[in-house]
Amino acid sequence: MEHGVSAIKEQHKAIVDTIKGITAGDWKVLVVDETTKKIIDNAVSEDEILNRNIANIEQIEHRREMNQTMDAVYILSPLPHIVDCLLADFERGRYRKAFLLWTGVLAPELGRKFSGFRQQIASFDTLFIDFIPRESHLITFRDPWSLPIFFHPACNNLVAEHMRTVAQKIAAVCITLGEIPKVRYYHPRNPTHEASVLCTHLARFVQKELDDYKEWDPNFPPPSSRPQAVLLITDRSMDLMAPLIHEFTYQAMAHDLLPIKEGEKVTFHMSINEGAEEKDMELGDKDKVWVENRHRHMKDTIDKLMSDFQRFIEQNPNFTDQNQDTTSLNAIKDMLAGLPQFQEMKEAYSLHLTMAQESMNIFAQHKLPDIGSVEQTLATGLDEDFKKPKNILDQVVRLLDDPDVTPSDRLRLIATYVLYRDGVIAEDIKRLLAHASLPPSEAEKIINLEFLGAQPTRALKPLRPPPPPLFPRNTKTLALQDEEYALSRFEPAVKLMLEDLCRGALDPALFPYTVPPLDGSDDPLASQGSLRSAAPKWASAHNRQKQTRQRIIVFMAGGATYSEARSCYEISEKLNRDVFLATTHMLTPQLFLRQVGDLSVDRRRLDLPMDRPKPRAPAHLFERPAPPPMITPPAGPAANRPAPPPGGAGGPRPPTKGLGAMTLSSGSSSSVPPPPAMAGDGQDGGKTGKLGKEKEKKRRNFLGMKK
């Protein structure tokens, strides 16, 4: 379901409008790096960029031709090796002028490296687009290493720097959406794990980033009739059931059961044209069938796909024999094979009918109805009649014995049971694993849940009472729900948190503010405050559209699930908000258990990017062009003449003065014009020159240009 506002569209607008404002009818080259290319490709097509007076798109790490007659627009990551690549361009004078755009804040020590190249820099700005919007309301940082960095005991020395990086990305999401939100964060009750302070510290980092931006641009955010946004910062420890149990809505079920690849694009590999061709089919917001069905229960998804196809048959009576069967998935797939004139529709429906059918085959073959029923009881603590369950261990053991239940599902079932019991004695975990015919080493994946706040093992007599639910639910209301959806009784904590927030009932002790509201009110529709009163001159009509839906941004550190993404869309629809889920990375149950298992391995085996050699600018960027070949004098009598004495008049003088001024050092300042004075030179170009001396001073300091 679409709600008008979209993180993809907002990022697209930020990129395209900025490029258009710089080119202004004059042809330029766009230079990107490996990371920014992925960000731009995700939001903007290459044709759209080339249509904005961009003559060519080049990658800064690659070999490129000199182009000293054309200006370049650089969109770069604020990383040391990328700065070195840029400096190499400046030293060679590769382009005429440079318009610099960074995707995030450039560190001051990196900004100071450009002090000798001010004449080449036409403008210097920050775009705040260092994130990947995967759907209209789902944003990822593609950073699976966040979970071990935040929760592995041996990674403590990496946490502060990584937190700063994540905070800048969260702030970038808020800025791109045009918001300076109230910041609230998860503060667990009676925590036992070391990472329990994660959200507290991360929220303070984010608040500082937002405060710095607000100081740099007092006119932000643009005027709006919306209430002030809310940012909720939480982490994976808030809900350990959500990434373990089976979910039976289409998107979550497909990612759990099918071999969906998650790279630059999310794709499913399948045969098309009656098996004549293999193709990776993309699952994204451009696929309207996917968008319309991804959050539906699988039963409803299949009904919708079949009814839509039936409607197509009725609208195209000449297409098929009226007596053909249109009530089974296989029959519909066979009919689609004969639809060459409807290629796009054919591929979309073939894709989703195939995925739905394969998911349902696994559902039936591997006893997922039985597993799901037990999981729902363990996750909610209540049986299908919403009463305290009886003989639940017997039901678990029966499934562990069943040969149709996969080893992966057996492990998930044991982990879910251990969480339901708030811990068991260590010997019981060994017994359950042995009963499930799983290797003893799998115990690590269960015991390591303690790093995320669980208590998987305990003494024979419990040392603490079971913790109360974070968000208690009214069982009388639940009992009225449709029995058809008994396998979907569990609601992720994110959904219950959002419901409490929108009712003004979110516990301020559980979710405190970084800056308590001035009016002391928890009412989400309380006065909009002074942040919305300014009317900056650059605010376009697009930004002034009267949208009254409050925006809520949920950030989940350590990975989010597809059930949590679905919950955010559902709350948007049900409670008239725009809820965005941002997270370090998306989790499937398999990935979650693998990452939890890694929390006890030697850090060197994790292969964290921070532990690898630092990336360096490619050596070819610093290569100098070969000197012109020397001309050999012709053979003959002239070749035997004695050389004239030095300084004599017998021949041309050697270019001693020019040779003395040359250098082979790539870092020598003699290879570029002498730098102009840094202060008050008026050559900064772009927007900075219009802000006045005081504003310019603040801006340079914020963007890391201050010496």
Residue-level pLDDT at 331: 66
Over 60: is that where the pLDDT of 479 sits? no
Residue-level pLDDT at 705: 41
Residue-level pLDDT at 313: 72
Cβ atoms of 50 and 25 closer than 8 Å = no
Residue-level pLDDT at 444: 96
Cβ atoms of 187 and 509 closer than 8 Å = yes
Cα–Cα distances in angstroms (integers) from residue 168 to residues 105, 107, 149, in the given order: 8, 12, 17
Residue-level pLDDT at 316: 66
Residue-level pLDDT at 646: 45
pLDDT one-digit tens code per residue, 167-188: 999 999 999 999 999 999 999 9
Q: Which residue has the higher pLDDT, 599 or 689?
A: 599
- DSSP annotation string for 117-175: GGGGEEEEEE----SEEEETTEEE---TTHHHHHH-GGGHHHHHHHHHHHHHHHHHHHH
Residue-level pLDDT at 310: 80
Cβ atoms of 222 and 539 closer than 8 Å = yes
Q: Which residue has the higher pLDDT, 570 or 488?
A: 570
- Rounded Cα gap, residues 103 and 40, in angstroms: 10
Cβ atoms of 130 and 156 closer than 8 Å = no
Q: How many residues are recorded in the chain?
A: 707
- Rounded Cα gap, residues 311 and 100, in angstroms: 53
Q: What share of the chain is helix, strand, coil (3-state, %, to 5)?
A: 45, 10, 40
Cβ atoms of 433 and 610 closer than 8 Å = no
Over 70: is that where the pLDDT of 573 sits? yes
DSSP state of 676: P
Residue 31 three-state SS: strand
Stretch 72-85: mean pLDDT: 97
Residue-level pLDDT at 55: 95
Amino acid at 264: E
Residue-level pLDDT at 334: 64
Residue-level pLDDT at 653: 45
Stretch 83-105: mean pLDDT: 96
Confidence class for position 659, pLDDT limits 50, 70, 90:
very low
Cα–Cα distances in angstroms (integers) from residue 542 to residues 539, 593, 652, in the given order: 8, 44, 69
Over 60: is that where the pLDDT of 527 sits? no
Q: Which of 59, 50, 53, 56 is nearest to 29 (CA)?
A: 56
Cβ atoms of 605 and 578 closer than 8 Å = no
Stretch 58-68: mean pLDDT: 96
The answer, yes or no, to whether the previous bond of 221 is cis (omega within 30 of 0) is yes
Cβ atoms of 290 and 283 closer than 8 Å = yes
Confidence class for position 459, pLDDT limits 50, 70, 90:
confident
DSSP state of 606: G
Stretch 284-306: mean pLDDT: 93
Q: Which residue has the higher pLDDT, 36 or 462?
A: 36
Residue 567 tokens, joined: 């919950």
Stretch 408-416: mean pLDDT: 98
Over 80: is that where the pLDDT of 17 sits? yes
59's enclosing H/E stretch is strand 54-59
Residue 307 three-state SS: helix
DSSP state of 242: T
Amino acid at 138: L
Residue-level pLDDT at 460: 78
DSSP state of 483: G
Cβ atoms of 445 and 244 closer than 8 Å = no
Cα–Cα distances in angstroms (integers) from residue 443 to residues 417, 418, 420, 629, in the given order: 13, 11, 17, 70
Angle between helices 407-420 and 426-435 (to 10 degrees): 150
Give the percent of the chain with pLDDT over 70: 78
Residue-level pLDDT at 318: 55
Residue linked to tokens 């006890």: 600
Min mean pLDDT across 120-134, 342-356, 443-457, 493-507 is at: 342-356
98's enclosing H/E stretch is strand 98-102
- Rounded Cα gap, residues 403 and 436, in angstroms: 9
Cα dihedral 484, 495, 303, 371 sign? negative
- DSSP annotation string for 494-531: HHHHHHHHHTT---TTTS-BSS--TT----TTS---GG
Over 70: is that where the pLDDT of 707 sits? no
Min mean pLDDT across 289-298, 449-458, 624-633, 672-681 is at: 672-681
Angle at 567 between CA 197 and CA 184, to 5 degrees: 30
Residue linked to tokens 């890694």: 598
- Rounded Cα gap, residues 630 and 665, in angstroms: 22
Over 70: is that where the pLDDT of 416 sits? yes
Min mean pLDDT across 536-550, 554-568, 625-639 is at: 536-550
Stretch 553-580: mean pLDDT: 97
Confidence class for position 133, pLDDT limits 50, 70, 90:
very high
Residue-level pLDDT at 276: 63
Residue-level pLDDT at 671: 35
Q: What torsion do the CA atoms of 473, 574, 588, 390 make, to the nearest 10 degrees?
A: 30
Residue 328 tokens, joined: 């089974």
Stretch 650-657: mean pLDDT: 42
- Rounded Cα gap, residues 316 and 313, in angstroms: 5
Over 60: is that where the pLDDT of 657 sits? no
Over 90: is that where the pLDDT of 163 sits? yes
Residue linked to tokens 């003959």: 636
Residue-level pLDDT at 422: 92
Cβ atoms of 234 and 202 closer than 8 Å = no
Amino acid at 66: M
Stretch 191-214: mean pLDDT: 96
Cα–Cα distances in angstroms (integers) from residue 372 to residues 113, 408, 495, in the given order: 58, 14, 20
- DSSP annotation string for 368-414: HHHHHHHHHHHHHSS-TTSS--SSHHHHHHHHHH-TTS-HHHHHHHH
Cβ atoms of 190 and 236 closer than 8 Å = no
pLDDT one-digit tens code per residue, 298-356: 999 999 998 887 887 777 665 555 556 666 666 666 666 555 556 777 788 889 999 99
DSSP state of 419: H
Cα dihedral 293, 295, 296, 298 sign? positive
Q: Which of 179, 183, 145, 184 is nearest to 165 (CA)?
A: 145
Cβ atoms of 458 and 423 closer than 8 Å = yes
- Mean pLDDT, the chain, whole residue set: 84
Residue-level pLDDT at 623: 85
DSSP state of 581: E
Q: Which of 582, 500, 570 is nearest to 249 (CA)?
A: 570
